[in-house]
């Protein structure tokens, strides 16, 4: 039996584990630099996020790389892109997410440490995840994400979609996000100067 994963942040009022400790982060930063990723937008990844949003029907999609302190959306799709003239309904509670997010916001840090896809059809059904800042700040209610594990075995980041409404992602959603992650990993591996 393996030892439990230590966690770096606790909610003292509820004793829930919030942000997982990520021992691979320093090595990940080195690997991302080798690949030229993690600190600037990548137009192909924006295109990928757009396609991911289309395939899943989600309003937000991201290609996310994570270091010790932050998350960087090298690929980003938000509501309104490619939708000129379409009525979008009520505005989100706050501005739409930018390219940078604190490491303790969202669910991708959990995916990268777990190295497995994560499906949250309604984050409020999971006390561990319901208290995440993105719930109150952006109104996120559902999440679907998968890790990007490159040819070296390093978990570089994630691909994910989120919605401000609960979503029944189901097995189909899980298979889709995993398949799309594998597709993007193949694209990332082609960037590798070591190949």
Phi/psi at 159 (nearest 5 deg)? -115, 140
Res 18: pLDDT: 64
Res 81: pLDDT: 62
Res 82: pLDDT: 55
Res 19: pLDDT: 74
Which residues of the chain have a pLDDT value below 50? Answer: 1-17, 83-96
CATH code for residues 26-190: 3.30.450.40
């Amino acid at each position: 039996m393996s030892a439990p994963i230590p966690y770096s942040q606790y909610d003292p009022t509820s004793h829930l584990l919030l942000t997982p400790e990520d021992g691979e982060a320093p090595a990940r930063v080195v690997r991302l630099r080798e690949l030229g990723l993690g600190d600037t937008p990548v137009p192909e990844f924006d295109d990928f996020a757009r396609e991911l949003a289309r395939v899943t029907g989600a309003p937000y999609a991201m290609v996310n790389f994570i270091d010790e302190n932050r998350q960087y959306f090298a690929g980003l799709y938000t509501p309104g892109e490619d939708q000129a003239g379409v009525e979008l309904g009520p505005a989100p509670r706050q501005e739409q997410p930018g390219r940078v997010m604190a490491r303790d916001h969202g669910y991708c840090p959990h995916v990268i440490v777990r190295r497995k896809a994560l499906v949250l059809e309604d984050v409020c059904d999971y006390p561990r995840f319901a208290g995440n800042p993105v719930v109150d700040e952006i109104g996120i209610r559902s999440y679907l994400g998968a890790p990007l594990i490159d040819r070296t075995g390093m978990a570089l980041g994630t691909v994910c979609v989120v919605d401000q409404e609960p979503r029944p992602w189901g097995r189909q959603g899980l298979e889709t996000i995993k398949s799309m992650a594998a597709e993007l990993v193949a694209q990332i591996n082609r960037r590798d100067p070591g190949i």
